[in-house]
């Protein structure tokens, strides 16, 4: 059986989710990221041998210090893909494969991780697409894998697998496809994330969700009561 370590790359708390600035204050955006990270770590720890958090932000690494994870400080100035390659190198001495999950997939459940890992028993690479064409989970070998996170990375990671002549599988799930970038995404968490720290935090801010018949399906507003 392949040994799996999970990797969560985390951006600086102070840079968290700026696209949500019309909806949440800077402190609320930081606490949102903390809540989502807590949810993602909690799920992954139940299914993998180790969880690695890599970040350039000392505050992030201090935040996860008592969560039973490995904290890795990014070495030098690099981008997301460079940071992930650093983490994969660290994992390569201890595991056969890594499961990379962003910190903003709070609807991920234990059964999703279990299914992805089981699919990895017969596939070299397993990918869960994000709703915008990105990658919200990537199970891949610790060797010969090139990171392609960024624009339309779902298709780019499939190209990497094809070039390596790897067998790949796609895990398509609404819950795994939702990463958090818009106010409507917050509404989806409030509708579907009943057992998450993220939903609890959003409720504590006074946000409410309702149906909308316009361009976006959900409307988010502050409670006035």
107 to 74, 104, 216: CA distances (angstroms): 27, 9, 20
Q: How far is 14 from 206, CA to CA, in rounded Å?
A: 22
Per residue in 120-151, pLDDT (tens digit) is 999 999 999 999 899 999 999 999 999 999 98
CB 136 within 8 A of CB 43: no
pLDDT tens figures, 146-175: 999 998 999 999 999 999 999 999 999 999
Instruction: Report how far residue 203's alpha carbon sits from residue 181's, in angstroms, rounded to the nearest whole number.
Output: 18
Are 225 and 219 a contacting pair, CB within 8 Å?
A: no
The backbone torsions φ and ψ at residue 81, rounded to the nearest 5 degrees and listed phi first, read -65, -35
Question: For the segment 31-85, what is each residue's pLDDT rounded down to a tens digit?
Answer: 999 999 999 999 999 999 999 999 999 999 999 999 999 999 999 888 999 999 9
Of 100, 114, 5, give the one whose Cα is nearest residue 51.
5
Cα torsion through 123, 52, 146, 76, rounded to 10? 180
Does the pLDDT of residue 22 top 90, yes or no?
no
Structure tokens that stand for 61 in this block: 């690494």
The answer to whether the beta carbons of residues 126 and 120 sit under 8 Å apart is: yes
User: Which H or E element spans position 5?
Assistant: strand 4-9
Spatial neighbors of 60 by CB under 8 A, at least 6 apart, are: 10, 12, 13, 37, 53
């Amino acid at each position: 059986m392949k040994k799996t370590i999970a990797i969560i790359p985390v951006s600086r708390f102070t840079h968290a989710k700026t696209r949500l600035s019309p909806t949440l204050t800077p402190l609320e955006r930081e606490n949102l990221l903390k809540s989502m990270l807590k949810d993602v770590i909690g799920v992954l720890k139940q299914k993998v041998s180790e969880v690695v958090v890599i970040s350039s932000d000392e505050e992030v690494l201090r935040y996860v210090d008592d969560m039973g994870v490995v904290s890795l400080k990014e070495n030098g100035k690099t981008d997301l893909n460079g940071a992930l390659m650093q983490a994969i190198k660290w994992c390569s001495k201890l595991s056969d494969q890594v499961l990379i999950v962003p910190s903003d997939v709070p609807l991920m459940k234990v059964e999703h991780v279990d299914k992805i890992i089981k699919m990895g028993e017969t596939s070299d690479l397993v990918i869960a697409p994000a709703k915008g064409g990105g990658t919200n989970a990537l199970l891949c070998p610790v060797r010969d894998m090139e990171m392609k996170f960024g624009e339309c990375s779902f298709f780019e990671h499939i190209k990497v697998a094809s070039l390596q002549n790897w067998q790949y599988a796609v895990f398509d799930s609404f819950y795994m496809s939702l990463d958090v970038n818009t106010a409507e995404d917050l509404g989806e968490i409030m509708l579907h994330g009943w057992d998450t720290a993220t939903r609890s935090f959003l409720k504590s801010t006074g946000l409410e969700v309702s149906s909308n018949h316009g361009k976006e399906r959900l409307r988010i507003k502050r409670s006035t009561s």
